[in-house]
Amino acid sequence: MKKLINSPESVVKDALAGMALAHADLITVHYDPDFIVRAGAPTKGKVGIISGGGSGHEPMHGGFVGKGMLDAACPGAVFTSPVPDQMLAATKAVDGGAGVLHIVKNYTGDIMNFEMAAELAAAEGIEVAAIVTNDDVAVKDSLYTAGRRGVGVTVLLEKIVGAAAESGANLAEVKRIAEKVNAQGRSMGMALTSCTVPHAGKPTFDLPEDEMEIGIGIHGEPGRVRMKVASAAEITEMLATPILEDLPFASGDSVLAFVNGMGGTPLIELYVVYNELAKILKDKNITIARNLIGSYITSLEMAGCSITLLKLDDELTKLWDAPVDTPALRWGA
């Protein structure tokens, strides 16, 4: 294992300390329990927006704390859900009297820890609502699985819901918008290489030099199928088709197209994928009204990408365009 770390034990805290120094104007980092909170929190009268999850997906979620997006983020150990103490402390820190929304990705551990935190916060008189994202079409949503994983839509949802809260929407309204984003978005990812969890010291899975995995999760969970590496055009088709068929997206739809890097893939390749995606969507008479290209929900150093499509309407487009000022996403600010 080759990594720019001091030790596997200190990697999360060392990175938090770096973030705190780099973005002191936007965020404050609390330790024990660990959480990142927007500078000046709580915002009185505003619904607080919190997310959290295992570390190793940077910039998600800590990089999205700031005006117009998250009020706080709770980082767990690498690829491990944070614990209820963190969510409870963060919930209290951002509660401006209008309630708090927890944004939770659909993983068994995240769900249970956020549930325990919500029970504890409710016991302290804070109104908490939760949205669980589950947009990964690689997983069958059935009685026989824990349900679809929450992936790329989480990033878009945090931005859009953050804008809604900033505009003064109440908790019920914020939750309605969150549900709409989750319902209208779908994702799928692929890997060219594995990732290595610092504690584990070796790659999570073995992927031969000439093979790729389609339908991979953001923790290196195996996907739908393993096959020989194909061209960007073929890979994009393999990701886009299940996404388009699932919602389903239809001719005349307007979408936000999000091409995300898994952490080890350069931007030049993401633009190649975006170009292929644009061709596919054009053929289907689907308009890309907005786009986001870059590494925003990553899996350590894994090479690969994910595609997320979110069906837009006027309400979601307006909220997407609203100003945002965070370490990782910034416009109009």
Partner 1 sequence: MRITAEHVIRFVEGVAARIKEHRDELVQLDSAIGDADHGINMDRGFTMVLEKLPTVADKDIGTILKSVGMTLVSTVGGASGPLYGTAFLRAGMALADRYELTPAEVVAALEAALEGILARGKAQRGEKTMVDALGPGVDVLKEAQASGEDFVPALRRSVAAVEAGMKATIPMLATKGRASYLGERSIGHQDPGATSVFYMAQVMLEIVEGIQE
Instruction: Give me the active site residues, please.
Output: 57, 219
**Interface with partner 1: number of residues (CB under 8 A):** 36
Task: Answer yes or no whether residue 65 interacts with partner 1 by CB under 8 A.
Answer: no
Burial string for 237-249 (b: 16+ CB within 10 Å, else e) reads ebbbebbbebbeb
Shortest approach of partner 1 to residue 244 CB, angstroms?
A: 22
Per-residue mark of binding to partner 1, 86-125 (x: CB under 8 A): ---------------------xxx--xx-xx---------
Shortest approach of partner 1 to residue 138 CB, angstroms?
A: 8
Please give the residues from 180 up to 219 whose contact with partner 1 meets the rule CB under 8 A.
197, 199-200, 204-205, 217, 219
The single residue among 82, 189, 304, 327 that binds partner 1, judged by CB under 8 A, is 82
Q: In DSSP terms, which residues pair with 70 in a beta bridge?
A: 65
Burial string for 76-113 (b: 16+ CB within 10 Å, else e) reads bbbbbbbbbbbbbbbbbbbbbebbbbbbbbbbeebbeb
Q: For residues 174 and 170, give the distance between their C-alpha atoms in angstroms, rounded to a whole number.
A: 6
Shortest approach of partner 1 to residue 216 CB, angstroms?
A: 10
Nearer residue to partner 1 within complex by CB, 204 or 298? 204
Q: The tokens of 253 are what?
A: 């739809």
314: which residues sit within 8 A by CB, 6+ positions away? Answer: none
Q: For residues 206 and 282, give the distance between their C-alpha atoms in angstroms, rounded to a whole number.
A: 36
Task: Answer yes or no whether residue 264 interacts with partner 1 by CB under 8 A.
Answer: no
Task: Answer yes or no whether residue 127 interacts with partner 1 by CB under 8 A.
Answer: no
Q: Please list the alpha-helical segments (H only) found in 167-266.
A: 171-184, 232-246
The single residue among 140, 234, 275, 287 that binds partner 1, judged by CB under 8 A, is 140
Report strand pairing: 35-38 vs 72-78.
antiparallel
Task: Answer yes or no whether residue 221 interacts with partner 1 by CB under 8 A.
Answer: yes
User: In 3-state terms, what secondary structure has residue 269?
Assistant: helix
Query: Given the structure tokens 């309630």, which residue do they identify?
Result: 99
Shortest approach of partner 1 to residue 103 CB, angstroms?
A: 18
Task: Answer yes or no whether residue 130 interacts with partner 1 by CB under 8 A.
Answer: no
Shortest approach of partner 1 to residue 74 CB, angstroms?
A: 10
Per-residue mark of binding to partner 1, 13-52 (x: CB under 8 A): --------------------x-------------------
The single residue among 2, 143, 314, 332 that binds partner 1, judged by CB under 8 A, is 143
Report strand pairing: 330-331 vs 324-325.
antiparallel
Q: Quick one: DSSP state of residue 64?
A: G
Per-residue mark of binding to partner 1, 45-64 (x: CB under 8 A): ---------x----------
User: In 3-state terms, what secondary structure has residue 212?
Assistant: strand
Residue 281's closest CA among 314, 251, 317? 251
Nearer residue to partner 1 within complex by CB, 143 or 268? 143
Where along the sequence are the contacts to partner 1 (CB under 8 A)? 33, 54, 76-85, 107-109, 112-113, 115-116, 139-140, 143-146, 149, 197, 199-200, 204-205, 217, 219-222
